[in-house]
Amino acid sequence: MSNGKKVLIIEDDSAIAEIERDYLEIDGFQVEIVDNGVDGITRGSSGEFHLILLDVMLPGADGFAVCRKLRETIDVPILMVTARREDIDKIRGLGLGADDYIVKPFSPGELVARVKSNLAQYERLRNRGNSTINGGEVKVGQISISPQSRRVYVRGEELTLKNKEYELLLFLVEHVDMVLSKETLYERIWGYDAIGDSATVAVHINRLRDKIEENPGDPKVIQTVWGAGYRLKA
């Protein structure tokens, strides 16, 4: 039975793409496959899909170029798929706006779990309404967040944040002056256990610092507490 969610797989290895499609369809997803970056940009930008699985190595345009282009027009979860384990690939992908990554080879169960988790987190963020502090508006120092409209202002200027950036900042603001471990942030924002993976959190923290801090190289708002995690300073 369909769950109404549509997933676009951008993958040039037909065997891998068909396995991904089969397991997602078993779980009720509607799936479409494209095998190159150019078509991936065209279909992904259509607004028809709830989530995109994006391979890094693609003909026509690689996954990084596709991710960058898609982020100009859509705001749905993008999961990058890579066969290379070097952190630089993961970091490059996340820096362009991907929400998560998964490393080949992966089990079908892990794939489906990642897809479901990212969709659930996305829906939770979109549906997050009045259940926040101060009657719906959150203010800490120079940061002001309106969860109903999902607008963020820093020093009076509105910021444009991706989904995970927004949710991470909101969580930090709601736990101001608390030291939060990378594992805690990963579990709360990405929705599943952090199995020794710190790159995702670190990249998103750095992206927030680039947008929030007056001097990202010497952060005063989102502080690193060495050996413990991060703290948003009031």
The H or E element containing residue 200 is helix 199-212
CATH number at 6-126: 3.40.50.2300
Among 3.40.50.920, 1.10.10.10, 3.40.50.10420, 2.60.40.10, what is the CATH number of 134-232?
1.10.10.10
pLDDT: is 101 or 153 the higher one? 153
Residue 204 reports pLDDT greater than 60: yes
What are the structural domain ranges in the chain?
Answer: 6-126, 134-232
What's the chain's average pLDDT? 85
Q: Give the pLDDT band of residue 209 (cuts 50, 70, 90).
A: very high
pLDDT in tens, 4-28: 899 999 999 999 999 999 999 999 9
With b for 16 or more beta-carbon neighbours within 10 A and e for fewer, the 66-81 pattern comes to: bbbbbeeebebbbbbb
- The predicted-structure confidence for 129-184, as pLDDT tens digits, reads as follows 434 444 567 888 889 888 778 889 998 899 988 888 998 999 898 888 899 988 88
d(CA 101, CA 98): 8
pLDDT of residue 11: 96
Where does 45-144 have alpha helices with state H?
A: 63-70, 87-95, 108-126
Query: d(Cα 161, Cα 166) in Å, to the nearest integer?
Result: 6
What does the pLDDT read at residue 106? Answer: 86
Q: With 0.75 as the threshold, say if the pTM is over it.
A: no
The kind and range of the H/E element at 182 are helix 182-190
